[in-house]
Structure 1
Amino acid sequence: MFAQCQRFNDVNVHAGAIVGWQQIYDQMSAGSAHTELVHLTAERFQVFREVLDKRVVQHGAAPKGRLCLAMPVGGSSANVFQGTTIGGADVTVLHSGQEFFVHSTEGMDLLAVSVDAARLGLLAEREFTAPELRKLNRCTRLNVSPQFLCGIRKQLQSIVSAVVQGDELLESQIEDLLLECTLVLLEQVCEPGSRRSGNVAVSAYLVRQAHQMAMEFLDEPLSILQICDHLDVSRSTLQRSFLSVTGLRPVAYLRLVRLNAVRQRLQQTRADEFTIARVAYDLGFSHLGHFSGAYRHLFDEAPSHTHRAQ
């Protein structure tokens, strides 16, 4: 896995730097090009953001074995994808090896993610009904609310930024986060009313089991998709269960569980035995600044003010 931020003065050299894509970029407006590419690339996933200051025709084929989603960033102008104008809240979809033809305007700012199609397919079979899967397999564009899309973009960009800044994230963790984001976006294709309502007893059982699993794997936190695999439920079922029982999404709830575990371990150990940074890292918090902010928000005190054993 590697992450890079690169700048180019040739749009086709820029295109060639995006690993795994068979594509050509033709510059269609005059002047020296100035482009930027920030990308995170691994064996089974990729996230990249590209900014082009020239009008460009992009043509080629998506990577085989991947599902690819692309979304505009900020106020970038509308582009034409496969003969259709793409608006600011549209997400384009490219399936494995699918050819594409895009007319991008000057100032194009695009964020794209690709994930392993086979693994996504297995998760989707648990997540969606057969008619929904057929619809998804034909889908080339998702139209979502600007607010919703903004939230997804922030999640994707935060993943890339964390790796670029040197945060120690496992490839498996990143892959699961990207698969979750992809599933959330694909849900937008399906009718909102098609999801089954949950049983309170079942929901409470799933939350309890997830809580126990989180406690068993405090030193290497499980992703939501890993928990779903263990419990043999879909991501949306787990999400609904947590919201109905706790009022929180699973990620937020399980982060609070780990913060409480940090506090309890701090209270049970001496400062000269285990530093705050060591305890936080051992319990899955790799970014000390983010951890300290979350700890202070939850307990209304800094970790350094928590009473330690004597």
Structure 2
Amino acid sequence: MRQSLRTTDIVEHANALPGWRQRYDQLSCGSLEGRLDVVQAGEVQLFRERLNQQVIQHICLPQNAVNILFPLAWPGVDDQGVMAEKYATVLLPNDEYRVFTPAGMDVLCMSIPYATLRNLLDEAVLHALMQLNRPKRVCLRAHRLVPGIVMFKSLMEGTPTSATLQSLTLMVVEWLERVIDVPQETPRPSTRGYIVERCHQWLIEEPAASSNVLEFCRRLKVSRRTLQYSFQSVAAVTPIQYMRSVRLNGARRALKEDPHASIADIAERWGFSHSSYFTLEYQKLFNELPSALRCVERS
């Protein structure tokens, strides 16, 4: 389901978001220009909200869901220490929030039910997350957030695919596991090495398969935290980073072997269904565009 609203009425704007109880009070003078775009993809809700005036937002969040906000534009400083450009913020449905949004505000939000996270997030992390009693800023470097924002915008502007939505959801899960502190179990060194080796083999044997962290946990019969710790210990990266890098290297080899092949086809062959996301991650890893390698090989 997709819906869009453009309005000059602050009350209409506040009441337009499905599942949210909100009251907005306009602070700055002038005509309001509000815009709200909402996509409901299964149980996950995505929306983008823009307002040209300063507003006090009184918000009761949807129950039984975690809400991740990405401010694209947040002029000025948030004295509450919750919102800031280039950071994500986790909001939980524990209480009513009163947020002072600046004129020119532009935010993305992803609302994920606990039931969905229960199948993705480590149980200890989910429990700690549900105990949070105030908003938590996801303090990750901007370059880690950019791929998620790119996918988010793509989902908002195009036709949401299950693969892209799953990729974005798993990326959010990775962010949460980075910022929520819980005690870690420590597998033996030999076990860690075995876990990484088996995952690597599966990636090479099944490059186009939609294998993800959950699938590898199921195959190996280990928890997400064990998988995470093993990759951090052996390769100093997360499982998602490792899998992405192996696939990108495989795609690069394929481009070198057949420079006349379609970049999109090779990307899909190596598990990247979203071409702009593939290009962004490829450039970040190799400091060049996929097309640059193809031009060199053709010459």
Give the TM interval when normalised to the shorter protein. 0.7 to 0.9
Alignment partner, residue 58 of structure 2: 59
Q: How does 1:199-214 map to 2 (within 5 A)?
A: 199-214=188-203
Residues 67 and 110 in structure 2, CA contact (< 8 A), matched pair in contact too = yes
Q: Between the two proteins, what is the percent identity of the paired residues?
A: 26
Which consecutive residues of structure 2, in runs of 5 or more, have no partner in the other structure?
none
Alignment partner, residue 126 of structure 1: 123
Distance 2:50 2:154 in 1: 20
2:46 maps to 1:47: yes
Q: CA deviation at 1:32?
A: 0.6
TM-score (structure 2 length as normaliser) = 0.74
Distance 2:145 2:287 in 1: 26
* CA distances 1:145-194 after superposition (whole Å, capped 9, x unpaired): 4xx1645643432222233454x763254245325424533653426xx3
TM-score (structure 1 length as normaliser) = 0.72
Residues 27 and 55 in structure 1, CA contact (< 8 A), matched pair in contact too = yes
Alignment partner, residue 22 of structure 1: 21
Distance 1:298 1:106 in 2: 36
Alignment partner, residue 207 of structure 2: 218
2:99 maps to 1:100: no
Which consecutive residues of structure 1, in runs of 5 or more, have no partner in the other structure?
none
Aligned length: 291
What residue identity is the alignment partner of 2:98?
A: V
Tell me which moved more, 209-218 or 65-74.
65-74
Q: CA deviation at 1:207?
A: 1.1
Alignment partner, residue 181 of structure 1: 172
Residues 44 and 175 in structure 1, CA contact (< 8 A), matched pair in contact too = no
SS at match of 2:131: helix
Cα RMSD after superposing both structures: 4.0
Alignment partner, residue 136 of structure 2: 142
2:106 maps to 1:115: no
Alignment partner, residue 146 of structure 2: 154
Alignment partner, residue 282 of structure 1: 269
Distance 1:18 1:43 in 2: 16
Alignment partner, residue 89 of structure 2: 91
What residue identity is the alignment partner of 2:130?
A: L
Question: Relative to structure 1, is the Cα distance of residues 209 and 178 closer, same or farther in structure 2, using a 3 angstrom cutoff?
Answer: same
Q: CA deviation at 1:73?
A: 4.9
Distance 1:78 1:263 in 2: 42
The match for 1:195 among 184, 196, 217 is 184
